Amino acid sequence: MAIKRVFIVGAGVMGTGIAETIASTGTDVTLIDKTAEMAERGIKRIIENMDREIERWGLTESEKRAILARILPSGDLSSVAEAEMVIEAIPDRLRQKQDIFAQLDKLCPPETILVTNTSTLSISQIASVTNRPDKVIGMHFLNPVTKVQIIEVVRGLNTSDETYQTIREFAESINRRPILVHEYPGYVTTRIIVPFLNEAMHVLMEGISTAEDIDTAMKLGFGFNVGPLALADMMGLDEVMSWMENLISELSEHKYNPCPLLRKMVRAGHLGVKTGEGFFKYDAEGNRIKPDNNPGDK
pLDDT at residue 202 is higher than 60? yes
Give the bridge partners for 139, in sequence order: 153
**228, 231, 234, 292 from 217: Cα distances, Å:** 10, 14, 18, 19
Which pLDDT value is given to residue 1? Answer: 62
Q: Where are the domains of the chain?
A: 5-182, 190-291
Which pLDDT value is given to residue 127? Answer: 98
The more confidently predicted of residues 294 and 206 is 206
Q: Distance (Å, rounded) from C-alpha 161 to C-alpha 238?
A: 35
- The predicted model scores a pTM of 0.87
| Fold of domain 5-182 | Rossmann fold (3.40.50)
Which pLDDT value is given to residue 286? Answer: 83
Which pLDDT value is given to residue 257? Answer: 97
Q: Which letter does DSSP use for residue 87 in this model?
A: E
- pLDDT of 45-69, one tens digit each? 999 999 989 999 999 999 999 999 9
- pLDDT of 155-180, one tens digit each? 999 999 999 999 999 999 999 999 99
Q: What letter represents residue 196's amino acid?
A: F
- pLDDT of 56-109, one tens digit each? 999 999 999 999 999 999 999 999 999 999 999 998 889 999 999 999 999 999
Query: Into which CATH architecture does domain 190-291 fall?
Result: Orthogonal Bundle (1.10)
**19, 69, 158, 200, 254 from 208: Cα distances, Å:** 41, 51, 47, 10, 21
pLDDT at residue 185 is higher than 90? no
Q: Distance (Å, rounded) from C-alpha 204 to C-alpha 211?
A: 6
Percent pLDDT > 90 in the chain is 88
**103, 232, 234, 254, 291 from 295: Cα distances, Å:** 43, 14, 16, 25, 9
Which pLDDT value is given to residue 298? Answer: 41
C-beta neighbour count of 160 within 10 angstroms: 17
Which pLDDT value is given to residue 296? Answer: 47
Which pLDDT value is given to residue 226? Answer: 94
